[in-house]
């Protein structure tokens, strides 16, 4: 296979990233020089000007949190004023500042970086890992994104790939990739549920797989439900233990709580493989006499499970919604694919089995299944991945997770393409001038579910200009909104009278101007 034929699949995660490829008909998850298959999606800027990306940056996060960037995926493509960015400002030790056009920027060691640059550094690390493993250059990739990523988030992810020196052939949804990893080449006819429980979010997607056709039937999610909830619950349990031991509480000590949360996460992971665990937290707080107090905490899995059942239960409310959308019952699902670190918890596996009345599929690693699917999709785009007698290129029929529309004069949201519409798809609308001699028309494009346009996410503005000066309502412009296979919005406009393609100017909100992109490329990452 020629070097430029080699396509890698990258799962660009919030916490970790994974890179895989198809080699001689087999999928390989590619380890780094230390043998690690999972890379922290972290970038550390060191004092000497060098930059460490991946697992090496994780240690830096402990000793130098201000200069170590993580969770870029939570911020990429978001407005500076969004809830996610506001939360980040409160929680993240590194600095997030406002750039032009409402774009959040990371300020570190006196330099400002766009989120695509930070994610691009992680992608470049994954590219380097692949090149080292394969012993040849790699130029093409398929990158995965959450199913609920909007147009801007997808565009910025693609830009991150570009900055990393990768031609991103496709941006595919994580659950679709996971289904592909299980179903590709197996010639099955089945309904698959992809149950994805990560660190901060939960998603469920139901797909109909028929041979090579992977069709998303419905998808639902909760962006505030994840492994963190277990850590918080466990940390509070530990606080209770501290109070019992020392006779005073730590409710008003945020530092102690954040330390406990880190300990809680470790404990939670330990309890996934052991029935009980013990921790010692040294000098957690000072008592009234100024004496340091330790916490010794012993816990068994069963008591933690009892305290956390309701968190898992919340995921089933989301599953109920997705099943309703698919007009199915839980028992109609033929296979449940587990994705995300939280699905390693025995409690989660047991409750998922009870809900769907079948054991979930666990033969693929929940951390790797998405990258594996991306690799299969990547290989199939350039060649027949499994060679002779292999099934043809898979057909991925996704749905758009959010409605796409424009703002009306009265501020309402006029939906052009509804949520859950199969993509690629397009919709044409005719717009006219509203005042005499009007030569420009401005359309504000949003994605979301609120009836009020401003409550949704603004993707950008389109300006139709150079219109013929005429009485109002006379000039008619046909605007076509298309969502392509990558889930990205493409807009074209045509003058109805002349049939001439109408000049448009698109300003992406929370996006970069061509000059800014040029500057990023020049700066290099
Ligand atoms: P992800 O976003 O898929 O990387 O998942 C990250 C989440 O999975 C974090 O909340 C981790 O604490 C959690 N996690 C990772 N490994 C385990 C494990 N062995 N047991 C329980 N939770 C885990």
The 3-class secondary structure across 94-110, one letter per residue, is CEEEECHHHCEEEEECC
Q: Whose CA is nearest to atom 20 of ligand 1?
A: 269
| Shared-domain flag, residues 212 and 232 | no
Q: Could you tell me where the beta strands, DSSP code E, fall in 330-381? A: 335-339
| Shared-domain flag, residues 333 and 296 | no
- The C-alpha atoms of residue 241 and residue 247 are separated, in whole angstroms, by 10
In a domain, 67, yes or no: yes
283 as an active site residue: the answer is: no
**Beta pairing class for 335-339 and 189-197:** parallel
In a domain, 36, yes or no: yes
pTM of this prediction exceeds 0.75:
yes
Q: Which residues of the chain register pLDDT less than 50?
A: 1-4, 385, 391
Number of structural domains found in the chain: 3
- The C-alpha atoms of residue 491 and residue 76 are separated, in whole angstroms, by 22
| Shared-domain flag, residues 454 and 472 | yes
**Could you say which of 260, 287, 306 is where a domain stops?**
306
Residue to substitute in 223, 342, 351, 367 for testing ligand 1 pocket (most ligand atoms within 8 angstroms of CB) = 342
**Could you say which of 364, 384, 399 is where a domain stops?**
399
In a domain, 525, yes or no: no
- CATH (domain of 291): 3.90.640.10
Q: Using an 8 Å Cβ cutoff, are 454 and 515 in contact?
A: no
Six-digit token pair at 69? 């960037």
Judged by DSSP in three states, 525 sits in: coil
Residue to substitute in 226, 269, 351 for testing ligand 1 pocket (most ligand atoms within 8 angstroms of CB) = 269
| Shared-domain flag, residues 326 and 234 | no
The minimum-distance atom of ligand 1 relative to the CA of 271 is 20
Kindly tell me the sign of the dihedral angle through the C-alpha atoms of 55, 56, 57, 63. positive
Six-digit token pair at 511? 């996006």
- The C-alpha atoms of residue 165 and residue 444 are separated, in whole angstroms, by 32
Tokens 């056709």 sit at which residue? 213
Tokens 């699902």 sit at which residue? 333
pLDDT for the residue 3: 42
**Measuring from each residue's beta carbon to the nearest atom of ligand 1, which residues come in under 6 Å?**
13-16, 198-199, 226-228, 265, 268-269, 272, 340-342, 344-345
- The C-alpha atoms of residue 513 and residue 384 are separated, in whole angstroms, by 38
pLDDT for the residue 48: 96
| Shared-domain flag, residues 280 and 297 | yes
| Shared-domain flag, residues 357 and 501 | no
The minimum-distance atom of ligand 1 relative to the CA of 226 is 10
CB within 8 Å of 312: residues ≥ 6 apart: 347, 348, 351
Q: How many CB atoms lie within 10 A of CB 369?
A: 30
**340 CA to centre of ligand 1 in angstroms:** 7
DSSP code, position 468:
P
Q: Whose CA is nearest to atom 19 of ligand 1?
A: 269
| Shared-domain flag, residues 416 and 324 | no
User: What are 7-57's pLDDT values in tens digits?
Assistant: 999 999 999 999 999 998 899 999 999 999 999 999 999 999 999 999 999
pLDDT for the residue 62: 80
**201 CA to centre of ligand 1 in angstroms:** 11
The minimum-distance atom of ligand 1 relative to the CA of 14 is 2
pLDDT for the residue 506: 67
What domain range includes position 82?
Answer: 7-225+313-399
Name the CA dihedral angle for 316, 319, 325, 326, rounded to a multiple of 10 degrees: -130
| Shared-domain flag, residues 24 and 140 | yes
CB within 8 Å of 211: residues ≥ 6 apart: 187, 188, 189, 391
Q: How many residues does the chain have?
A: 525
The 3-class secondary structure across 196-208, one letter per residue, is EECCCCEEEEEEE
**349 CA to centre of ligand 1 in angstroms:** 13
In a domain, 524, yes or no: no
pLDDT for the residue 391: 47
Q: Using an 8 Å Cβ cutoff, are 155 and 112 in contact?
A: no
- CATH (domain of 495): 2.60.34.10
73 as an active site residue: the answer is: yes
- The C-alpha atoms of residue 157 and residue 119 are separated, in whole angstroms, by 8
**141 CA to centre of ligand 1 in angstroms:** 26
Q: Whose CA is nearest to atom 22 of ligand 1?
A: 342
Candidates 32, 60, 128, 196; catalytic one: 196
**271 CA to centre of ligand 1 in angstroms:** 12
**198 CA to centre of ligand 1 in angstroms:** 6
Q: Whose CA is nearest to atom 8 of ligand 1?
A: 341
**Could you say which of 286, 306, 326 is where a domain stops?**
306
**227 CA to centre of ligand 1 in angstroms:** 6
Q: How many CB atoms lie within 10 A of CB 368?
A: 21
In a domain, 523, yes or no: no
Candidates 11, 117, 265, 367; catalytic one: 11
- CATH (domain of 108): 3.30.420.40
Judged by DSSP in three states, 136 sits in: coil
Is residue 305 classed exposed, middle or buried when 0-12, 13-18 and 19+ CB atoms within 10 A define those classes?
A: middle
Six-digit token pair at 49? 């000007």
| Shared-domain flag, residues 339 and 292 | no
Residue to substitute in 221, 305, 341 for testing ligand 1 pocket (most ligand atoms within 8 angstroms of CB) = 341
Q: Whose CA is nearest to atom 6 of ligand 1?
A: 199
Dihedrals phi, psi of 407, to nearest 5 degrees? -85, 135
- The C-alpha atoms of residue 157 and residue 46 are separated, in whole angstroms, by 25
| Shared-domain flag, residues 263 and 364 | no
Q: How many CB atoms lie within 10 A of CB 208?
A: 18
| Shared-domain flag, residues 231 and 179 | no
- The C-alpha atoms of residue 242 and residue 91 are separated, in whole angstroms, by 24
Residue to substitute in 202, 227, 269, 305 for testing ligand 1 pocket (most ligand atoms within 8 angstroms of CB) = 227
| Shared-domain flag, residues 46 and 184 | yes
C-alpha dist (Å) from residue 270 to 279, 304, 359: 11, 12, 23
In a domain, 1, yes or no: no
Candidates 73, 158, 268, 458; catalytic one: 73
**236 CA to centre of ligand 1 in angstroms:** 19
- The C-alpha atoms of residue 236 and residue 257 are separated, in whole angstroms, by 8
Six-digit token pair at 204? 């469920």
C-alpha dist (Å) from residue 423 to 216, 221, 401, 443: 10, 19, 10, 22
pLDDT for the residue 130: 98
174 as an active site residue: the answer is: yes
C-alpha dist (Å) from residue 156 to 97, 116, 143, 417: 18, 6, 12, 22
- The C-alpha atoms of residue 299 and residue 302 are separated, in whole angstroms, by 9
pLDDT for the residue 525: 73
The 3-class secondary structure across 269-336, one letter per residue, is HHCCCCCEEEEEEEEEEECCCCCEEEEEEEEEHHHHHHHHHHHHHHHHHHHHHHHHHHCCCHHHCCEE
Candidates 174, 229, 265, 398; catalytic one: 174
């Amino acid at each position: 296979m020629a070097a430029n034929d080699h396509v890698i699949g990258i799962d660009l995660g919030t916490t970790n990233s994974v890179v895989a490829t198809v080699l001689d008909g087999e999928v390989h998850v590619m380890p780094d020089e230390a043998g690690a298959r999972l890379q922290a999606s972290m970038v550390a800027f060191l004092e000497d000007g060098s930059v460490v990306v991946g697992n090496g940056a994780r240690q830096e996060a402990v000793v130098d949190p201000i200069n170590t960037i993580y969770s870029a995926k939570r911020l990429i493509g978001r407005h500076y004023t969004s809830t996610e960015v506001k939360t980040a400002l409160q929680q993240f030790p590194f600095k997030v500042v406002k750039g032009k056009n409402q774009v959040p920027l990371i300020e570190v060691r006196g330099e400002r970086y766009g989120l695509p640059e930070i994610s691009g550094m992680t992608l470049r690390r994954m590219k380097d890992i692949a090149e080292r493993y394969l012993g040849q250059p790699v130029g093409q990739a398929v990158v995965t994104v959450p199913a609920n990523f909007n147009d801007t988030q997808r565009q910025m992810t693609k830009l991150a790939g570009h900055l990393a020196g990768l031609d991103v052939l496709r941006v595919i949804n994580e659950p679709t990739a996971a289904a592909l990893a299980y179903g590709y080449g197996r010639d099955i006819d089945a309904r698959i549920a992809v149950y994805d429980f990560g660190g901060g979010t939960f998603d469920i997607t139901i797909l109909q797989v028929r041979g090579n056709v992977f069709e998303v039937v419905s998808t639902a999610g909760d962006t505030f439900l994840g492994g963190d909830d277990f850590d918080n619950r466990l940390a509070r349990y530990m606080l209770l233990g501290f109070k019992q031991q020392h006779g005073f509480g730590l409710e008003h000590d945020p530092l102690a709580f954040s330390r406990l949360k880190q300990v809680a996460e470790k404990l939670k992971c330990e309890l996934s493989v052991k029935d009980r665990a013990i921790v010692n937290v040294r000098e957690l707080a000072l008592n009234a006499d100024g004496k340091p107090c330790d916490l010794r905490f012993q816990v068994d899995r069963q008591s933690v499970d009892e305290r956390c059942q309701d968190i898992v239960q919340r995921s089933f409310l989301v599953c109920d919604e997705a099943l309703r959308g698919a007009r199915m019952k839980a028992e109609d699902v033929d296979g449940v694919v587990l994705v995300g670190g939280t699905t390693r918890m025995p409690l989660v596996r047991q409750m998922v089995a009870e809900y769907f009345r079948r054991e979930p599929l666990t033969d693929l690693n929940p951390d790797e299944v998405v990258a594996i699917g991306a690799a299969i999709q990547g290989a199939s785009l350039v060649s027949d991945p499994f060679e002779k007698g292999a099934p043809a290129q898979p057909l991925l029929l996704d749905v758009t997770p959010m409605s796409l529309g424009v703002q009306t004069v009265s501020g309402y949201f006029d939906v052009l393409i509804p949520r859950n519409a199969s993509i690629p798809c397009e919709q044409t609308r005719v717009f006219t001038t509203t005042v005499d001699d009007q030569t420009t028309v401005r359309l504000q494009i949003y994605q979301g579910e609120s009836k009020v346009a401003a409550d949704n996410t603004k993707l950008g503005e389109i300006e139709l200009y150079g219109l013929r000066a005429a009485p109002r309502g006379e000039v008619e412009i046909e605007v076509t909104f298309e969502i392509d296979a990558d889930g990205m919005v493409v807009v074209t406009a045509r003058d109805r009278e002349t049939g001439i393609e109408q000049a448009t100017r698109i300003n992406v909100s929370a996006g970069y101007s061509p000059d800014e992109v040029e500057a990023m490329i020049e700066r290099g990452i």
